Structure formats: structure tokens, C-alpha cells
Amino acid sequence: MSEILNKNIAKYAIDRSLKGGCSAARITLNNNIQSSYSVRNDKLDRLQQANGSSLYIQLFTEGKYGAYSTNRMEPSEVEKFINNAIDATKYLATDNCRVLPDKSLYYSGEEYDLEQYDSSFHDISPEVKCDIAFNCAAEIYKKDPSIISVNCEYGDSDDYTYIIDSQGFEGESKQTTFTLSAECSVKGTGDSRPEGWWFESSIYIDKLLREGVGLKAFERAASRLNPKKLKSGKYNLVLENTVSSRLISPIISALNGSSIQQNNSFLKGKLGQRVFAEGFTLADNPHQKGAYGSRYFDSEGIATKSMNIIENGIVTNYYINTYNSLKLNLPVTVEGPSVPTCLYSYPGRSSDSSILADDIIKKCGKGILVTGFNGGNSNSSTGDFSFGVQGFYFENGVILFPIKEMNITGNILSLWNNIAEIGTDPRMSGRWLIPTLAFESVNFSGI
């Protein structure tokens, strides 16, 4: 469906909502085109293509609120759907915090191109896509007798979003994504078949790293042979940049206005307080060119801005949308993270220094490099966590052997008060730019 048709349907939906008796409405249209080509060993295993649209309708009727969605875009279906939605909303209790945003907070126009869209998306032939996946698999298939299975997948998507509300806000954004991933299984000891994976992702097809993806998956699988379980105890923890977002995620969740308002956050009441290690800063830079997650406005149309969420250990901002702003009597910031990243400063560390995983492993000397998580969870009220992990034991800055069947257990606040180092090496293929992290004295459970 064309963007013009999409916009017309969204405008029609706004019109129907207001004529049906709503005091305000917001319509969000999403259109997605995607394809994927998956190669197993030496043949195409799966081919998928799709094109989908959806209409997300938020209705505000004198303090009553409902959120509805449909992918039936014919005007007659939309009209029937909205009429039913308006009827349903009327049954609810009034909640005066359910309103559209303060108009002065809206994003009001483009500044510079955030470099989120590759206009060559539709020119890439199926043959080229297929070849990318085949070449990836060919890097390793039959290249080592230990290999059991190779699976490589090329995928792409073109996502378009259009938001319009009854106060006059109108905004649109589009993003392309190209990914190449590889999984490799190798014969291990006994019945085990360790797996390794790797992936690359880019907003532009020309910038998608295609070489070495299969090889890296094999190397990671082969490195998992003969793992050992260590004795339970406290170890230094170094967290690879491929998975480091996992330990920042509980903090981001706890900063969410809804969690704060529902008294379900270990950071409730901590605004303005130092609760993390001095020198630790969590920043959000939503206008970074070419970074996944960069955006000028959030789902309410509120303009995003660069800000420190945690600054030198002090909680300086929550993620507050219009609803939670009115509930909590706090100013609106933005509904959630765009491009969060971590910084760490201490005497002697220069702001332009490059600190990579190897540097951090050497600095820690002895400990466990975690390269993957296996389940686990954290308690949103208390910050207590426990996660299954896999990785490698190291001593004197040298990796010695893989570890297996171990858990890390602790509390997020305690953990982030024991930072050993934070690297400068986030992977640009991730949505959150979280680099290699290191913490001192973390509880590992094993034997």
C-alpha cells in the first residue's frame, strides 16, 4: 500500500473518531516489507516474503481511553471498527490523565537526516540476497570435520510509520534494516553439540558486513568445546558487548514511568539521588546519525532530545510520557530509550581513550568473560537478579577454557556500584550502544 493511501486512511480514521464522539484521537500507521533467505549447509532452506500494514487507534473520550488495532484497511472496515471501539470505550471509568500531549512538546520539523533509510532497498534482487546467504554458509560448510550443521540467513525490512493526532501533530519516519546471521553446530564431547552464532546488521546494504560472519559463528562454536563448571564463589565478571545490554535492561525498565507509578521499580523515589557508582553515566543520544533507534519524536509525537538519564551515579531523569507525567506530577521527558549508551570516568581515564574487551580482560586479570545468557530474570521491585551464563574463564588476562552450567546472582544496584571498567566498543549493529562491561566480585554459582 502506498504512503499516500496510508496517510489518507489515517486521516479518515481521525475524522471518523471525532465525528463518532471522541474528544481526541491518535492514529499510528505501520507498513512493513520484509524478506528473508535462509541457507542450511549448501541449499536454500527457507524463502519468505511479506508486506503488511496495521492501523493503531488510540481514542480519548472525556477521560476514557482505549487502544485498538486492525490490519483491515478498507474504509468501510475502518469505519465499522472505530464505531465499535468508541462504543467499547464508553464503558470505562474516567481517568483524567488520559489526554494528548502538551502541544509545545511536539516535534516540529526536520533538522538533519538521521540516516535511517536506504533508498536502494527495492532495487536489490532476490538473487543478490540469496547469494549473500549462500556465500556466508560457504565460508564454513564442509571446512571442518567437526561441523554438524550450518544455517545462514539474510534478512531485510523496510518499516514506515506515520503518526497523526487530532491536535494537529503529524510525523512520519522510515527505516531499512539489513541483517546477516550465521549459526553453526559442532560435534562436542559425548552427546553435546555446542552452537555458535554471529550476526551483522546495517541500515544500508552497502555497509552490511558480509565476510567473516560464517567463520565467526564456527569459531564461537568450536571455542565451546570441553567446557568446565567452576566452584561457586565471587569472580570478576567481564561482559562481552554482544550481550551487555542484558545487564542494563533492568535499569532501563526501572526508569520507566509506568513502573515508577505502579510502585514496581527499585528506582522509585531515587530521582536526584546517587545510587550508582560515581563516574557512571547512562546517556541517551536520539539524534545520532546512522544509529538504530535514532528518532526525532516518540510514539506520542514528543520531540526527543539528548539527555543523561544517570549522571555520575545520580538518577537525573525517568522516562516519562504524558500519562505518567500527570499521574506522577513530573515533567514529560520521553516515553522510553532511543539510543542509550554507558560512559565511565575515573581519575586517570581520558575521555578519548579507546578501551576494548582485551584491555578490560587484562585489567581484570582473573575472572569470567560472559559471552551469552541462558535464561534468568530480575525482580523489578527489588533489583535482585539471577541469570544463567556461558563464557570463558581467564587468568592473567588470558582466556583458558569455556565454562558451563553457571549462574550469576546479585542485585542490580550493588552490581552497578562495583564497576571495574566500561569499554568504548559498542556494536553499532545493536539498538542499544552498550559496550563491554566489567564488574568486581560477582556471585557465580557452579559446583
Question: 110 to 149, contacts with other proteins by CB under 8 A?
Answer: 126, 130, 148-149
Q: Which is nearer to other proteins, 162 or 323 (CB)?
A: 323
Smallest gap from Cβ 103 to other proteins, in A, equals 24
User: What CA–CA distance (Å, rounded) separates 264 from 69?
Assistant: 28
Indicate which single residue of 128, 377, 395, 400 sits in contact with other proteins (rule: CB under 8 A).
377
Smallest gap from Cβ 45 to other proteins, in A, equals 6
Indicate which single residue of 103, 143, 229, 362 sits in contact with other proteins (rule: CB under 8 A).
229
Of 184, 153, 124, the closest CA to residue 44 belongs to 153
CB contact at 8 A, 380 and 264? yes
Size of the site for other proteins (CB under 8 A): 84
Smallest gap from Cβ 264 to other proteins, in A, equals 5
Binding mask 171-210 for other proteins (x = CB under 8 A): --------------x--x--xxxxx---------------
Q: Which three cell numbers stand for residue 268?
A: 522509585
User: What CA–CA distance (Å, rounded) separates 18 from 188?
Assistant: 64
Helix axes 3-19 and 75-89, enclosed angle (nearest 10):
40
**270 touching other proteins, by CB under 8 A:** no
Q: Please report, as residue ranges, which positions from 382 to 401 form the binding site for other proteins (by CB under 8 A).
A: 382, 384-388, 390
User: What CA–CA distance (Å, rounded) separates 407 from 391?
Assistant: 11
Determine the 3-state secondary structure of 425 from DSSP: coil
Q: Which is nearer to other proteins, 238 or 412 (CB)?
A: 412
Helix axes 126-138 and 213-222, enclosed angle (nearest 10):
30
Smallest gap from Cβ 225 to other proteins, in A, equals 10
User: What CA–CA distance (Å, rounded) separates 169 from 163?
Assistant: 8
**168 touching other proteins, by CB under 8 A:** no
**98 touching other proteins, by CB under 8 A:** yes
At residue 421, φ and ψ (nearest 5 deg) are -170, 150
Q: Which is nearer to other proteins, 19 or 229 (CB)?
A: 229
Residue span binding other proteins (CB under 8 A) among the ranges 90-98, 136-144, 311-319, 328-336: 90-98
Q: Please report, as residue ranges, which positions from 317 to 376 form the binding site for other proteins (by CB under 8 A).
A: 374-376
Q: Please report, as residue ranges, which positions from 239 to 258 form the binding site for other proteins (by CB under 8 A).
A: none
**44 touching other proteins, by CB under 8 A:** yes
Indicate which single residue of 83, 173, 409, 424 sits in contact with other proteins (rule: CB under 8 A).
409
Of 280, 269, 282, the closest CA to residue 381 belongs to 269
Q: Which is nearer to other proteins, 95 or 170 (CB)?
A: 95
Our CA angle for 145, 151, 156, nearest 5°, is 150
| Residue with the three cell numbers 472496515 | 77
Residue span binding other proteins (CB under 8 A) among the ranges 62-70, 104-112, 152-160, 352-360: 62-70
Q: Which is nearer to other proteins, 68 or 117 (CB)?
A: 68
Check residue 115 and give left, alpha or beta (phi > 0: left; psi -120 to 50: alpha). left
At residue 129, φ and ψ (nearest 5 deg) are -60, -45
User: What CA–CA distance (Å, rounded) separates 241 from 235?
Assistant: 19
Residue span binding other proteins (CB under 8 A) among the ranges 71-79, 158-166, 239-247, 361-369: 71-79
Indicate which single residue of 233, 273, 278, 358 sits in contact with other proteins (rule: CB under 8 A).
233
User: What CA–CA distance (Å, rounded) separates 228 from 390?
Assistant: 10
Residue 197 CB contacts under 8 Å (≥ 6 apart), including other chains: 181, 182, 183, 184, 217, 220
Indicate which single residue of 22, 24, 29, 85 sits in contact with other proteins (rule: CB under 8 A).
85
Indicate which single residue of 128, 398, 400, 447 sits in contact with other proteins (rule: CB under 8 A).
447
Smallest gap from Cβ 47 to other proteins, in A, equals 5
Residue span binding other proteins (CB under 8 A) among the ranges 3-11, 87-95, 152-160, 305-313: 87-95
Our CA angle for 249, 154, 431, nearest 5°, is 20
Smallest gap from Cβ 287 to other proteins, in A, equals 32
Indicate which single residue of 83, 299, 312, 407 sits in contact with other proteins (rule: CB under 8 A).
407
Smallest gap from Cβ 254 to other proteins, in A, equals 12
Side-chain-side CA neighbours of 266 within 13 Å: the count stands at 18
Q: What is the DSSP letter of 191?
A: T
Indicate which single residue of 157, 179, 381, 429 sits in contact with other proteins (rule: CB under 8 A).
381
User: What CA–CA distance (Å, rounded) separates 184 from 218?
Assistant: 5
Residue 105 CB contacts under 8 Å (≥ 6 apart), including other chains: 302, 303, 332
**92 touching other proteins, by CB under 8 A:** yes
